[in-house]
């Protein structure tokens, strides 16, 4: 009984320490705010996803055409729009990149912090 | 040590409550250290639950009958392996296992993703914590595994049917599957609440969903094999409510695994996908409710208990909150693209989804109907096997066919001419197979014949895809044919792993059709020396033996089996009388033919004191393909689950490009 209670107390203390660890490690941090992606970064992430999606679709179409799963006619009908989509995604991405590099530090881009 | 177990679970309850409140507050007000502290609380909750689990396991192994749970589920004579399996053999222990897996999965999923998806993970933590809080509340307040009593001399023992090696793996795998579905649910809800509707929640949960789905699939097959060998009624799936409870979330997860590809490839079906995730998770909770509430009569269910209303209330809250959040985020979930053609791969996947969902809902209706009829009319009306078989044929056969069609249709749109070329050989192969089987007499069961024909079509498409893919990789510079084959799979593990899983479903369909539509049954009352016949088998009753095992008395009828002129040796079937449990079980005799996959299945229904036996004998063609399908299913799942270095690199580059640290 006593041993069990002692072990239980030790467990509780260990858990409390684990939970308090971030505060014990950094009692007075420079900043305690969570890093969030700003609107531009979120938009950029979406464009990167769109780019990857378009490029992956092109790659898959090429391979399916090579294996014969996609016929010549279907390939010709599909490859054009897919290439245009990929090009549009790359272009949009380039536009965001140009915009970001033109914005001086401190104007719209929060400083980065690690939370892990 | 029961005090330690109780205290550890109280600590878990406190930690999960803290993770919920602190995690939600940190995410809402944007506090970094508080968010980290909530994440640590989830990890610590796993540690404290592990301590509680260790205490219960030690009590089981020491046969400490002062624990009510140990006394109710084990006995001194119970073999050690089954003593361990008693951990999940009773209600309180299985809830503790659930909590252990849940906190473990939660801690792992959060830690693995908090680097690259940190703004998403801060919202995932309170969702995980809310689910864990419910389960820790159950094991602390409602159904504690650490209740104590003055120790009796011996325990009540374990239900004989649970004393089977399959019970060592079947329930834990189902728990891994049920609980694993919490991961996609927590990430989906976290993404919805935070408004981070990009693809990261899908990427973060893809393998978790696949793992949960694989565990559920294998767990169900092991359960089916257990029923086949142990329950002794001549089948492997009885549409029992508790069996259905595992099948429904598996069907919903299968639909999600297909529709998520449409979101990844085309950015479509965003609302549909979150709804499927919510459905799969809610069904896993519903399955747990069915098993533990006592509302259904099933060989698998635990006794009537007080936790049913708690589960029902929790399911209601989960569904209501999830749907409210989906409704709130509807504008952000709108898809940027639309279905271009009803003849396309995404359309085929959509049809597949609709059929899977229809089958799932038909089963759900069959499960809840007895409860509803009892509530309304005061009499439980159970929907029988014919109800489920009807919907399995109506929805399952088209699903089987679509499994062959979908992967061979182009994304976006395909011309009918192209389809004609693509499906020329598989269709010809299927038609020839169907015609040959018809000639051989398979027309005695039309659904069976259709299943065989569709299965041969799908098999042909899979072989064709592997052959064409390997040839293409060889043409692209692979040094050898095996090298080309290996490169084909390693470059697209999900696609080709998926084809291997499809091959497993083909084997499963053939096995189910063969063993259920074309089986033979015969019954006979035999005295020693007499012979009975079934199909081309002859069984001669030779002797009746009685022997003692560790915890039971075994009575076995020895039968000499012959087929035509060939002697196939002896087969034993009989009964076990469990002394402590005061129960008798059927112990069936099975002779498998490794060449044809056929089983001769013998049940000794009755053994009279004078040695006369009443036998029921089945011949089940191709039934062993069902178990082989399990191995192929596991292989395909492992291929799809295996980490893909190229994909990892692409994700790392993408996140680095945005500025998020690339560690996962």
The pair of structure tokens assigned to B624 is 């062993």
Domain that holds residue A65: 38-104
Which of B1, B3, B35 has the CB atom closest to A34's CB atom? B35
Q: Which of residues 247-286 of B touch A (CB under 8 A)?
A: 264-267
Provide the number of structural domains found in chain A: 1
Q: Which of residues 87-116 of A touch B (CB under 8 A)?
A: 112-116
What's CA B533's distance to the chain center, in Å?
Answer: 38
Q: Which residues of A touch B7 (CB under 8 A)?
A: 4-5, 8, 11-12
pTM of the model: 0.91
pLDDT value of residue B297: 57
pLDDT value of residue A101: 54
Least Cα separation, residue A46 to chain B (angstroms): 6
The pair of structure tokens assigned to B442 is 């398979």
Binary contact (A70, B198; C-beta < 8 A):
no
pLDDT value of residue B654: 79
Residues B27, B29: Cα–Cα separation, whole Å = 6
Residues B277, B127: Cα–Cα separation, whole Å = 14
The answer to whether residue A110 scores a pLDDT higher than 50 is no
Which of A5, A18, A68 has the CB atom closest to B40's CB atom? A18
Q: Tell whether A25 is covered by a domain.
A: no
Residue whose tokens read 């296992």: B97
Give the helix/strand (H/E) hosting B600.
Answer: strand B598-607
Q: Which of residues 6-25 of A touch B (CB under 8 A)?
A: 7-8, 11-12, 14-15, 18-23
3-state helix, strand, coil in chain A (%, to 5): 70, 0, 25
The pair of structure tokens assigned to A113 is 């912090």
Return the residue in A20, A64, A113 with the most chain B beta carbons within 10 A, the one to mutate for interface testing: A64
Q: Tell whether A49 is covered by a domain.
A: yes
Residues B17, A19: Cα–Cα separation, whole Å = 12
Residues B454, B657: Cα–Cα separation, whole Å = 47
Q: What is the ipTM of this complex?
A: 0.81
pLDDT value of residue B13: 97
Domain boundaries, chain B: 1-158, 396-517+629-636, 520-620
Task: Give the CA diameter of chain A.
Answer: 80
Q: Which of residues 172-231 of B touch A (CB under 8 A)?
A: 196, 198-199
Q: Which residues of B touch A45 (CB under 8 A)?
A: 198, 654, 658
Closest CA to B626 of B458, B508, B518, B516: B508
Q: Tell whether A45 is covered by a domain.
A: yes
Exposure b/e, B479-503, CB count within 10 A at least 16 = b: eeeeebbebbbebbbbbbbbbbbbb
* 3-class SS of residue B388: helix
Pair B351, B270: CB distance under 8 Å:
no
Q: Which residues of chain B have pLDDT under 70?
A: 293-305, 659-664
Q: Tell whether A81 is covered by a domain.
A: yes
Say how many C-beta atoms besides its own lie within 10 A of residue B540's C-beta.
16
Q: Tell whether A16 is covered by a domain.
A: no
Pair B108, B2: CB distance under 8 Å:
no
Which of A53, A74, A115 has the CB atom closest to B118's CB atom? A115
Closest CA to B67 of B158, B6, B130: B6
DSSP result, B304-366: P-TTHHHHHHHHHHHHHHHHHHHHHTGGGG--SS----SSSHHHHHHHHHHHHHHHHHHHHHH
Residues B237, B243: Cα–Cα separation, whole Å = 8
Closest CA to B539 of B618, B623, B597, B621: B618
Which of A15, A41, A63 has the CB atom closest to B659's CB atom? A41
Q: Tell whether A22 is covered by a domain.
A: no
Q: Which residues of A touch B115 (CB under 8 A)?
A: 116
User: What is the Cβ-side half-sphere exposure of residue B124, based on CA atoms within 13 angstroms?
Assistant: 33
Q: Tell whether A109 is covered by a domain.
A: no
The answer to whether residue A37 scores a pLDDT higher than 80 is no
pLDDT value of residue B295: 64
Return the residue in A1, A17, A18 with the most chain B beta carbons within 10 A, the one to mutate for interface testing: A18
Interface A:B, Cβ pairs < 8 A: 167
Q: Please provide the size of chain B in residues.
A: 664
Residues A34, B119: Cα–Cα separation, whole Å = 8
The pair of structure tokens assigned to A18 is 């684990």
Q: Tell whether A116 is covered by a domain.
A: no
3-state secondary structure B519-563: CEEEEEEECCCCEEEECCEEEEEEEEEEEECCCEEEEEEEEEEEE
Q: Which of residues 623-652 of B touch A (CB under 8 A)?
A: 650
Return the residue in B33, B67, B421 with the most chain A beta carbons within 10 A, the one to mutate for interface testing: B33
The pair of structure tokens assigned to A27 is 């009692």
pLDDT value of residue B353: 96
Q: Please provide the size of chain A in residues.
A: 116
Quickly count helices (H) and strands (E) in chain B: 21, 9
Report residue B235: phi and psi, to 5°.
-135, -175
Closest CA to B451 of B433, B469, B466, B439: B433
Binary contact (A116, B18; C-beta < 8 A):
no
pLDDT value of residue B265: 86
Spell out the residues 6+ positions from residue B637 whose beta carbon is closer than 8 angstroms to its own: B210, B213, B214, B217, B497, B501
Q: Strand B589-593's sheet: what is its strand order? A: B520-526, B613-620, B598-607, B589-593
The pair of structure tokens assigned to B261 is 């590809």
* 3-class SS of residue B196: coil
Spell out the residues 6+ positions from residue B655 whose beta carbon is closer than 8 angstroms to its own: B116, B661, B662
pLDDT value of residue B478: 82
* 3-class SS of residue B136: helix
pLDDT value of residue B439: 93
């Amino acid at each position: 009984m006593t041993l069990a209670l002692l072990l239980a107390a030790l467990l509780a203390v260990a858990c409390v320490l684990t939970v308090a660890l971030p505060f014990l490690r950094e009692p007075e941090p420079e900043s305690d705010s969570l890093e969030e992606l700003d609107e531009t970064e979120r938009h950029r992430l979406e464009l990167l996803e769109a780019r990857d999606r378009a490029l992956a679709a092109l790659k898959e179409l090429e391979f399916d055409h090579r294996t014969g799963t996609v016929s010549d006619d279907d390939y010709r009908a599909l490859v054009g729009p897919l290439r245009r989509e990929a090009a549009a995604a790359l272009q949009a991405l380039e536009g965001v990149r140009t915009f970001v590099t033109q914005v001086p530090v401190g104007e719209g881009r929060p400083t980065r912090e690690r939370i892990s | 040590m029961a005090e330690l177990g109780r205290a550890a679970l109280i600590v878990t309850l406190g930690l999960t409550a803290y993770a919920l409140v602190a995690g939600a507050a940190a995410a809402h007000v944007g506090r970094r250290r508080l968010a980290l502290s909530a994440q640590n609380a989830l990890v610590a909750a796993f540690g404290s639950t592990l301590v509680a689990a260790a205490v219960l396991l030690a009590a089981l192994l020491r046969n400490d009958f002062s624990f009510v749970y140990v006394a109710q589920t084990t006995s001194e004579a119970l073999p050690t392996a089954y003593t361990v399996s008693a951990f999940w053999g009773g209600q309180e222990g299985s809830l503790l296992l659930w909590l252990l897996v849940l906190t473990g999965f939660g801690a792992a999923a959060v830690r693995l993703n908090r680097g690259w998806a940190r703004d998403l993970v801060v919202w995932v933590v309170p969702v995980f914590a809310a689910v864990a809080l419910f389960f820790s509340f159950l094991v602390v307040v409602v159904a504690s595994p650490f209740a104590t009593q003055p120790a009796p001399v011996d325990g009540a023992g374990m239900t004989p049917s649970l004393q089977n090696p399959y019970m060592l793996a079947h329930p834990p795998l189902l728990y891994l599957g049920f609980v694993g579905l919490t991961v996609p649910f927590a990430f989906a809800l976290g993404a919805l609440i935070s408004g981070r509707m990009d693809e990261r929640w899908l990427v973060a949960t893809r393998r978790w969903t696949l793992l949960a789905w694989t565990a559920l699939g294998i767990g169900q097959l092991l359960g089916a094999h257990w029923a086949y060998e142990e329950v002794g009624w001549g089948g492997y799936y009885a549409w029992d409510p508790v069996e259905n409870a595992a099948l429904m979330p598996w069907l919903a997860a299968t639909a999600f695994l297909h529709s998520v590809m449409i979101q990844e490839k085309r950015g479509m079906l965003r609302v549909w996908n979150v709804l499927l995730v919510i459905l799969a998770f809610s069904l896993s909770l519903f399955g747990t409710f069915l098993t533990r509430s006592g509302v259904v009569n099933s060989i698998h269910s635990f006794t009537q208990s007080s936790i049913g209303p708690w589960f029902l209330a929790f399911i209601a809250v989960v569904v209501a909150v999830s749907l409210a959040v989906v409704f709130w985020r509807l504008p952000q979930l709108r898809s940027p693209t639309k279905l271009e053609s009803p003849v396309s791969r995404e359309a085929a996947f959509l049809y597949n989804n609709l059929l899977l969902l229809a089958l799932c809902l038909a089963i759900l209706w069959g499960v809840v109907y007895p409860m509803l009829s009892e509530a309304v009319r005061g009499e439980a009306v159970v929907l029988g096997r014919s109800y489920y078989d009807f919907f399995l044929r109506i929805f399952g056969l088209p699903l089987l066919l679509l499994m062959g069609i979908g992967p061979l249709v182009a994304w976006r749109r395909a011309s009918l001419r192209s389809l004609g070329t693509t499906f020329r050989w598989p269709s010809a192969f299927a038609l020839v197979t169907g015609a040959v089987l018809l000639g051989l007499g398979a027309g005695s069961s039309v659904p069976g014949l259709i299943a065989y024909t569709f299965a041969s079509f799908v098999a042909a498409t899979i072989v064709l895809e592997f052959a064409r893919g390997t040839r293409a990789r060889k043409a692209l510079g692979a040094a050898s044919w095996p090298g080309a084959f290996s490169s084909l799979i390693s470059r697209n593990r999900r696609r080709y792993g998926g084809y291997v899983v499809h091959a497993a479903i083909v084997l499963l369909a053939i096995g189910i059709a063969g063993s259920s539509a074309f089986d033979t049954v015969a019954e006979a009352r035999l005295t020693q020396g007499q012979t009975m016949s079934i199909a081309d088998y002859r069984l001669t009753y030779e002797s009746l033996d009685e022997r003692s095992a560790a915890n039971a008395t075994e009575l076995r009828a020895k039968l000499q089996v012959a087929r035509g002129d060939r002697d196939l040796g002896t087969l034993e079937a009989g009964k076990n009388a469990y002394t402590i449990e005061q129960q008798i079980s059927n112990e069936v005799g099975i002779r498998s033919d490794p060449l044809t996959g056929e089983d001769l299945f013998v049940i000794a229904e009755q053994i009279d004191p004078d040695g006369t036996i009443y036998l029921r004998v089945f011949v089940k063609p191709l039934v062993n393909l069902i178990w082989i399908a399990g191995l192929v299913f596991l292989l395909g799942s492992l291929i799809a689950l295996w980490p893909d270095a190229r994909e990892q690199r692409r994700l790392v580059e993408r996140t680095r490009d945005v500025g998020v640290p690339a560690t996962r």
